[in-house]
Chains A and B, each alone.
Chain A
Amino acid sequence: VDWWFKARRLNTVLPAVLAVFTLLLLLLRDSATALPSLVPAFSGSVPMALLLPVPVCAGVLVCLDSRLHEAEETSVRSPLPLDLALVTGTVAAVGLLAAVVESFAPSRAADEAARNTAFLLGLALVTRPWVGMRATLPPVAWVMAVAVAGYHLGHPLAWTVIARPPSDPPAALGAGVALLLGLGAQCLPDLGGRFRTKENV
């Protein structure tokens, strides 16, 4: 566990992205802006907080990508369970930090932070076996797609997941499924994503 912790740079990268996440959550709260309406019917007021999980997802991927190849491929104990714990632990940490922020500065952004992080992180991890580290990009692409086409008459559509109200059961289910699929994808072998040789990405 000790070398895994340091090899994954959990002592630097992850605390940094979580700190940035908490700071921005405090600063932004529920600031939202109407982005240029493309079809007026499909535009909505897009909260800045939708982008908050993006650095967290990228941070987790950077951590997962940072490894000791020789040691990990020859070790008796596979580091896979630890990696899965890293993913779920990050989502839990986001939820905890958001709950702390919520306790003295309530905002909708804090209520839905854990769900949105789970969904976008799951999305990134699902694509990772195929595209390698380019998997840091699907979360931000998803947020952009939501802003462009995710609202109808100001109401977030069901497929967006991250734009739905915090108490929406299908959205919570969607986020859970995405995270589980992401964890499942972690157990897959490399499917052309070459995520073991990051120099080639």
Chain B
Amino acid sequence: VVVVLSVIYFRALSGKNVHDMHGYAPAAVSVGLESQYALVYAVAAGLAAWESGRLKADGVWRLAPARSRLRIAAGALVPVWVLAWLTLLWPVVAWLVRVGSAPTAGCLPLLAMPLVVTVAYSVIGFTVGAVVNRYLAAPILIGVVWYAVAASWSFSTHMWTRDVLGQYPSELAYGELPEPVSLLTHVLFVGGLGAGVLVWAVARLPWLPRVALGVAVVLAGTLPARALADGWGADTPLSEGNVTVRCTGAAPSVCLPAISADRAPEVRREYAEVVADFRQTGVTVRAPRTITDSILSGSSGTPSSATVWRLPVTGTADGTRLRFSLARLAVMPRCAAPRMTQTQRIALWIGEVTGTQGLARAREREEAFTPAQQASLRTSSSRVTAVRKLSAHRQSRWYTDTLRAACSASPEMSG
């Protein structure tokens, strides 16, 4: 069952695009693990309950102990761990092979977390199996653990559950690594539960202090984990840009990840052409301090600023598209909520000035849904055609006026 479900899971995931990972090992690891967490934890808890029930049925606990009871329990759990860990790790290996990358040191914390959490779930299962009939305990634990872990991903009311049940909740994008604290919460929560039941099961105390001690240990693990995760919502802490970045030149300096470092001259050339195109129409582009690849901001999509331009370089083979991105970064309005009509006209004008008309028009067409928006787009197009026939001086004045209108708060139409 484990093997069959793993294969289904893995085949289901294999449609994902390997190229988007750009050989980044932690991304491969996170996708490989993603399909396995719930199944592996369920199996670890269920099998541990089964084994524990078997020891009880065989009367092992009634025998005079030659070995310590913890060692006997661990001996029964080792095969469970090995099976669970193999189930957890084989898709990771498969993904690393597909991506063509060796695991890096950055992958290790993300790999270690589920290995530890597996042990914690097996301890919980073992203790349950020692108390409850194993034929009841095993299927119920499998169902409950599997559903809880798998569903934690989509609970919208208690978002913290996704950060504590052992399932790292997001796929890492290029350059992203989990913050250690976001892995610690899983270990604390499930580990706290496991340690609590372990203390309850082995402590040589009267029942009341034993229960109290167990509950205290459980709370000592789960409460801090919950408190840590409570404020995160859907944004589990990540660090971005954990790859080698090479910067070349100055004013602007072009900073690209090592995988695209050879494209720095191309970016610089397109930048120079864009600046020259705008100078011909009388518009001076203010140079940024840095031009960088937006892939370095991972999935968070940190916006560009006047001093740092971020544009997709890796994965964009087309020079025209680079120029289109650079041209927009150069002269599009930067205010918080620019007015739509003016923004559209500037965008179409940028296309005409820099020879990226096709991309500019396609983009505006995609954004015009309603008949009214489509009519407005036609007006804008004819208006921009007229503007392009003006002298450089008047075009630059039109641009300045339109930019001001786009960013003004009062409703003002500018020709």
**Which residues in A have some Cβ–Cβ distance to B below 8 Å?**
13, 17, 33-36, 38-39, 42, 46, 48, 51, 54-55, 57-59, 61-62, 65, 133, 136-137, 139-141, 143-145, 147-149, 198-199
Contacts and interface: CB of A to CB of B under 8 A. Distances in A.
A13 B132 CA distance: 11
B232 interface: no
Interface stretch (B8-16, B179-187, B203-211): B8-16
A42 B154 contact: no
Contacts of B346: none
A61 B135 CA distance: 8
Contacts of A54: 139-140, 143
B228 to A, nearest CB: 23
B1 interface: yes
B57 A55 contact: no
Given A36-B154, A39-B12, A141-B1, 13 more contacts: A13-B136, A35-B153, A35-B154, A36-B35, A38-B35, A46-B147, A48-B147, A54-B143, A58-B136, A140-B142, A144-B39, A148-B12, A199-B57
A113 to B, nearest CB: 15
B139 A39 contact: no
Interface string B137-157: 011101110110011011100
A65 B135 contact: yes
B154 A140 contact: no
A88 to B, nearest CB: 21
B154 A62 contact: no
A70 B35 CA distance: 48
Contact of B138 (A35, A57, A137): A137
Interface string B7-44: 01100110100000000000000000011001100100
Contacts of A199: 57-58
A38 B153 contact: no
B133 interface: yes
Given A38-B9, A39-B15, A62 B135 contact: yes
A34 B39 CA distance: 16
B114 to A, nearest CB: 15
B5 interface: yes
B154 A55 contact: no
B8 A137 contact: no
Nearest to B169: A36
B297 to A, nearest CB: 25
Contacts of B142: 137, 140
Contacts of B143: 51, 54, 140, 143
A148 B5 contact: yes
Interface in B146-178: 146-147, 150-151, 153-155
A55 B139 contact: yes
Given A36-B34, A36-B154, A148-B5, A136 B15 contact: no
B135 A133 contact: yes
B13 A137 contact: no
Contacts of A148: 5, 8-9, 12
B16 to A, nearest CB: 10
Contacts of A65: 135
Contacts of A59: 136
Contacts of B38: 36
A147 B150 contact: yes
A144 B139 CA distance: 11
12 contacts: A33-B154, A35-B153, A35-B154, A36-B34, A36-B150, A59-B136, A65-B135, A136-B135, A140-B146, A141-B5, A144-B42, A198-B57
Contacts of A46: 147, 151
A73 B217 CA distance: 50
Given A17-B136, A55-B140, A136-B138, A33 B5 contact: no
Chain A to chain B: the 10 pairs with minimum beta-carbon distance, closest first: A38-B12, A33-B151, A51-B143, A39-B12, A140-B139, A35-B150, A34-B154, A140-B143, A136-B139, A141-B1
